[in-house]
């Protein structure tokens, strides 16, 4: 049976395939992550125009025969995000956000919360306010925590993940990000420690509250988020900066 999928989508990867084709991986609002053959994509740019670019919100029509790969029938840009395309810091942060989604979201599973968080971070990066690397990094750090929460992997930042003992507010703690949260001293602690300030800010970011993060704290949160993601996906944090 052939199913037709019409959906808002973001391109999360494209790889050359054969002589003229491309395999495009989309994160779609309706059906989650899907990969599709794009026939003739490298021969002629007429058919899909500039629609096979990351960052812009697309509308795609896919033909799904239930096999591993769908076939892309149509694609157009629904919401261009030229602010990101013209800003290197925003571009790098957006690329990282798309990579995280590609690695963390399973195929053919709608993830409405992750879709919203990804749209939010791309919108934030697209605004003219993102003039500095520090601003872009702050948005990315908050997105990392939100994405983990959306996928059911929220970090436990209030109590020890082993014995459930509550860690007093504002106090620094050991954190085992791959294990899912903070670990008390009696339970052996962990390699990494986080400050009381970071613990409070990260907890607020996980609840989708708006927080101001310094350059250092944002960087630390990104490292912690990637450690947590690595435990749940085919994700290698060392892939940072690559496609």
The only residue of 113, 154, 187, 208 in contact with Zn ion, by rule CB under 5 A? 187
184 binds Zn ion per the rule CB under 5 A = yes
CB-CB neighbours of 188 under 10 Å: 10
Contact window for Zn ion (CB under 5 A) among 11-19, 64-72, 93-101, 154-162: 154-162
Out of 16, 88, 163, 239, the only residue in the binding site for Zn ion (CB under 5 A) is 163
Closer to Zn ion by Cβ: residue 79 or 162: 162
- # residues near Zn ion by CB under 5 A: 6
Q: Is the separation of the CB atoms in 27 and 105 below 8 Å?
A: yes
Alpha helix (H) residue ranges in the chain: 82-85, 88-104, 112-126, 133-150, 196-206, 215-230
Quick one: 27 exposed, middle or buried, by C-beta within 10 A (0-12, 13-18, 19+)?
Answer: buried
Which window, 15-23, 32-40, 180-188, 202-210, contacts Zn ion (CB under 5 A)? Answer: 180-188
> How far is Cα 186 from Cα 88, in angstroms, rounded to an integer?
45
Q: Which of 114, 23, 30 is nearest to 69 (CA)?
A: 23
CB 95 within 8 A of CB 54: yes
Q: How far is the CB of 159 from Zn ion (least distance, A)?
A: 8
Minimum CB–partner distance for residue 182 and Zn ion (Å): 9
- Check residue 113 for interaction with Zn ion (CB under 5 A): no
Q: How far is the CB of 231 from Zn ion (least distance, A)?
A: 19
Q: Does 162 bind Zn ion (CB under 5 A)?
A: yes
CB of 227 to Zn ion, least distance (A): 19
Q: Which of 160, 173, 213, 228 binds Zn ion (CB under 5 A)?
A: 160
Q: Does 159 bind Zn ion (CB under 5 A)?
A: no
Q: Cβ of residue 226: shortest distance to Zn ion, in angstroms?
A: 24
The reply to whether 208 sits near Zn ion by the rule CB under 5 A is no
Quick one: which segment of 1-9, 22-30, 84-92, 178-186 binds Zn ion (CB under 5 A)?
178-186
With respect to Zn ion, which residue has the nearer C-beta, 184 or 203? 184
Q: Give the separation between CA 191 and CA 102, rounded to whole angstroms.
A: 28
**Which DSSP state fits 186?**
G
User: What are φ and ψ of residue 222, in 5° steps?
Assistant: -65, -40
Burial of 61 (0-12, 13-18, 19+ CB in 10 A): middle
Ramachandran quadrant class, 20 (left: phi over 0; alpha: psi -120 to 50; beta: rest)? alpha
Binding residues for Zn ion, per CB under 5 A? 160, 162-163, 165, 184, 187
């Amino acid at each position: 049976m052939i199913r037709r999928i019409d959906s808002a989508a973001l391109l999360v990867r494209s790889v050359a395939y054969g002589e003229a084709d491309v395999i495009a991986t989309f994160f779609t609002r309706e059906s989650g992550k899907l990969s599709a053959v794009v026939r003739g994509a490298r021969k002629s740019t007429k058919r899909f125009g500039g629609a096979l670019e990351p960052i812009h919100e697309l509308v795609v029509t896919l033909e799904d025969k239930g096999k591993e790969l769908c076939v892309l029938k149509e694609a157009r840009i629904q919401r261009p995000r030229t602010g990101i395309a013209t800003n290197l810091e925003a571009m790098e942060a957006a690329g990282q956000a798309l990579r995280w989604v590609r690695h963390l979201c399973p195929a053919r599973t709608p993830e409405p919360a992750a879709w919203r968080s990804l749209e939010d971070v791309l919108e934030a990066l697209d605004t003219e306010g993102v003039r500095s690397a520090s601003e872009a990094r702050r948005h990315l750090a908050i997105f990392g925590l939100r994405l983990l929460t959306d996928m059911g992997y929220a970090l436990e930042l209030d109590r020890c993940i082993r014995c459930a003992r509550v860690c007093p507010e504002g106090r620094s703690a050991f954190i085992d990000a791959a294990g899912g949260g903070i670990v008390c001293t009696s339970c052996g602690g962990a390699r990494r420690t986080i400050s009381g300030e970071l613990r409070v800010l990260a907890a607020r970011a996980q609840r989708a509250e708006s927080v101001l993060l310094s350059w250092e704290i944002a960087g630390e949160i990104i490292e912690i988020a990637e450690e947590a993601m690595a435990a749940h996906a085919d994700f290698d944090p060392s892939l940072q900066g690559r496609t």
